[in-house]
Amino acid sequence: MNLNLNKTENKNEIENYLNALRKYIVEDNEKFVTYLSYLLYLRNTYDSENKLTLAQLLRKKFLNADTNLEYVLKEFVSEKLWKDIRKDILNVSNDTLKKVILETTDKYLQMVSLRKYAENSTPDTLVDLVIKILNINPGDKVCDICGGIGNFITKAYLKEKKAIYYSKEINTQAISVMEIRVDVLLHDDKEKNIYTEAGNIFDLFFNDRVKNDKFFDKIFGNYPWRIFIDKYSVKNIDFLKYIDSKVPGILKRNMSDWLFNILMIHMLKDTGKAVGIMTNGSIWNQMSDCKNARKYFLSNGLIEAIIALPANLFKSTSIPTVLIVFSHGNKKIKMIDATSICVENMRQKIFSTENIETIYKAYLEETENSIFVNVEDILKDEELNIHPKRYLTHITLPENGKELKTVLTDLYRGSNISAKELDKLKTDKPTLYRYVMLQNINNGMIDEELPYLSKIDEKHEKFIISNRSLIISKTGPVFKSAVVDVPSNLKILASGNMFILKIDETKANPYYIQALFESSYGKALVSSISSGSVISTFSKKALENLVIPLPALEKQNEIANKYQALQDSIKIYKMKLEDAYDKKAHIFDNVEGE
C-alpha cells in the first residue's frame, strides 16, 4: 500500500498516517511511534529522493552532533524495517509528523494501541497548571530536573520562547524521545535555547553552561517517588553527603521526594520559584526522618504553597498527589484543596481551562478552596502535617467544645497480634474469649457473633476492651465506630487497626460520643484530622486533641437514650427480617408434604 496523505485534510491525514503506521509498531516498545515518525521527518528534510538507507540518513543528520540518539534509533529500527516503511508511507507532510511527535502522549497513542507511554510523562493539563504557577518570563533560566519525554520543556517553550531551558533525564529511551521532540520543535527557530542531557540529576551537569549552584529562575520536578538513591552510583557524592548533613536520614528510600526537593532548592536562585510533584504521604506521615525534612523546609521558609491534587490524575497510578511550590522567605503557606477541581476524561482526571483558572486564583488569594497558614503555627504542631485538607475541612467548631482527651480515662491502640498468631488462636468451639475486627463493626453496631479465641495471652491482656468503651477505626476511607457492651463473663480483644477509648462517664456518655461520630458533623470532624495517600488515617494525638461539642451530661444522656432506642429498633427489624427470609425459604415445605 503506497499512501499519499497530502490530498487529505490535516485531521484525516494524521489518522490515515497512524493507521498506516500501526502495523509497524512493536507492542513491547511504546516509543516506536515517535522513532518512526522522526525518521520520516528526517527523510523529508534530508532525502527528497527517498533513496538513503537508515545508516546514510542518520549519518547525514548526526555527523557533527553530540548525541546518543543515532545509536538509539539504530538499536530499535532495523535497515529492513526502514526500507519497508519508506517505501510504504510516501509524502506524509512534516506538519503532520511534527504534530504527531509533539502531541503523541495524549492524542494519538490509542490509535496505535500504545498504553504505556505515560510512564515517563507528566499529564498535559498538569503541565499547563505548573507553567501558569511558574510564570516563566523572557530570559529566565528554566530547568526540568527529571525531564521524561519532554512534556514540560516543550509546552513551556511554546508558551515562552525567549527563556532558556535545560532538562536532564536518566532513562535513555525517554530522553531519546525528548531529544526528538526538541529537535523538531526548534527546527525552524534561529536560536537553539533548549539544552537536554542524559544522566543522573545529582551529578554535575550541562558542562560549562551551568556556572553555579543558584543558577535557575524556575525549576520543575516530576521526579520518581519513593526510590532508593544509591549514593555510590552518584559521581557528585559530596553533594549527597552535604544534603544528609543538613537533613539526617534524607537518603533513605521513603525520603526521595524531599531529596529531590532539596536538590531543586540548591539549584534555585534566591528570587526563583520551583514546583515539585510529591506523594501525599511525604507531607503528613509521622516517620521521624520525614518530619525532620518537613521541619527543615518550614523552618527555612522554603514552602510557598501546597496544592492537593485529584486522585487518578496520572495514567500510571491512581494515587492522589500534591503539587508543592518552593521559594525563599515564606512566613505563610498557601494551602489549596484542588482534589475536586477537575473533570473526567475517559476514566482519567484532567484539568479544564476553567479548573486551572480556579486553582490559580486560589493560589493567588484566599478562596473557598484555599487558606493562608502561618509557618510558625505549623511548627508548633508536633505532627508537622502540611496536607491542605488538614486546614481546609469546612466545619464550624462548637462553642461548648472540649478536647476529646478531657473526657477519656485512657486511649490506646488495639493488639498488634500477627495474622499467623491469630490463626493459631482462632477456634470454632465456643469460649469466653472473642476478637473484634473492623468487619465486625457495621452501622455503629458490633456483630452478635464474634470470632472465638482459644485463649488470650498475657502480653495481649492490655488490649482487652472494657465494658462501654468506644472503639474507632484508625484508617478509612470510611471510619467505623461503636460502643462495646461486654458481658461480665467475656473478654474481647481488639484488632490493631482501631483505637479503644475508655470514657469517663462522669463527664461524657459513651453513646453520646458514638452518636456524634456517626453523624455527618462527627464524620466531618474525624475527616478534619485525617490524612493519607490512598487510605485516610489519623494519629492518637490528633484524636486526643479533637474538639467535640460537649453539652451538659443531662443533654448527652437524652441524645444517648434516643440513639440506643433507635439501635434497639434496628435490631428488632433485623430479627424480623431474618425471620421473614427464613419463612420465605421454607414456604413450600408444607406444600410438598400434602
Query: Nearest Cα to 250, choosing from 283, 214, 384, 241?
Result: 241
Residue 26 CA, chain-centre distance (Å), reads 31
Q: In what order do the strands lie in the sheet with 452-453?
A: 426-427, 452-453, 433-436, 491-494
For the chain, list the domains and their CATH numbers: 8-110 (no CATH), 124-306+321-331 (3.40.50.150), 401-556 (3.90.220.20)
How many C-beta neighbours within 10 Å does residue 40 have? 24
Please state the φ and ψ torsions of residue 260, each to the nearest 5 degrees.
-65, -35
Nine-digit cell string for 94: 512534516
Amino acid letter at 275?
A: V
Q: Are 456 and 464 in contact (CB under 8 A)?
A: yes
What does the block give as the cell for 92?
Answer: 506524509
CA-wise closest residue to 34 among 91, 155, 92, 117 = 117
Task: Summarize pLDDT for 415-454 with one digit per residue, the tens.
Answer: 988 888 989 999 999 999 999 998 899 889 999 889 999 9
Residue 89: closest CA among 182, 6, 154: 6
Judging by DSSP bridges, how do beta strands 194-198 and 164-169 pair with one another?
parallel
3 DSSP β-pair partners: 89
Q: What is the dihedral of CA 201, 202, 204, 209, to 10 degrees?
A: 40
Residue type, 490: L
pLDDT in tens, the chain (594 residues): 344 444 445 667 888 888 888 888 765 556 788 899 999 999 999 998 999 999 999 999 988 777 788 888 998 899 999 999 988 988 889 998 998 888 754 455 454 444 444 455 788 899 999 999 999 999 999 999 999 889 999 999 999 999 999 999 988 888 898 999 999 999 877 778 999 988 888 775 544 455 556 789 999 999 988 776 665 555 666 777 777 777 877 777 667 889 899 989 989 999 999 999 998 888 887 777 888 899 999 999 999 999 999 988 887 777 889 999 999 999 999 999 999 999 998 778 999 999 999 999 999 999 989 999 999 989 987 778 898 888 886 666 677 789 999 999 999 999 988 888 989 999 999 999 999 998 899 889 999 889 999 999 888 898 999 999 999 998 866 789 999 999 988 999 999 889 999 999 999 999 999 999 988 788 878 877 776 555 577 888 889 999 999 999 999 999 999 999 999 998 898 889 888 888 888 887 766 555
Query: What whole-number distance in Å separates Cα of residue 201 and Cα of residue 260?
Result: 9
Nearest-CA neighbor of 387 among 333, 311, 351, 350?
333
Number of neighbours of residue 266 by Cβ within 10 angstroms: 14
425 to each of 434, 453, 454, 484, 580, how far by Cα in Å? 10, 5, 5, 22, 36
Q: Do 130 and 323 touch, CB atoms closer than 8 A?
A: yes
Burial of residue 326 (number of CB atoms within 10 Å: 0-12, 13-18, 19+): buried
CB 132 within 8 A of CB 356: yes
Measured between alpha carbons, how far is 68 from 194 in angstroms, rounded to an integer? 17
Quick check: 181 and 147 in contact, CB under 8 A?
Answer: no
Query: Which three-class secondary structure state does DSSP give residue 486?
Result: coil
Instruction: List phi, psi (to 5°) of 266.
Output: -60, -35
Cα distances from 249 to residues 164, 253, 385, in angstroms, run: 34, 9, 18
Sign of the four-CA dihedral 295, 298, 302, 307: positive
Q: Which helix (H) or strand (E) holds 115?
A: none
Enumerate residues 6+ apart whose C-beta is below 8 A from 271: 217, 328
Per-residue pLDDT of 384-399, as tens digits, reads: 889 888 888 666 667 7
CA of residue 109 relative to chain centroid, distance: 24
Q: CA quadruple 420, 426, 432, 436: dihedral positive or negative?
A: positive
User: Is the sign of the CA dihedral 80, 84, 85, 87 positive or negative?
Assistant: positive
User: Grid coordinates 472540649 are at which residue?
Assistant: 402
Strands 370-374 and 433-436: unpaired
Q: Are 70 and 62 in contact (CB under 8 A)?
A: yes
Alpha carbons 414 and 409: distance in angstroms, whole number: 16
Using omega within 30 degrees of 0 as the cis cutoff, is the peptide bond preceding 549 cis? Answer: no
Q: How far apart are CA 476 and CA 532, in angstroms?
A: 9
The span from the CA of 327 to the CA of 270, in Å, is: 7
- Residue 112 DSSP class: G
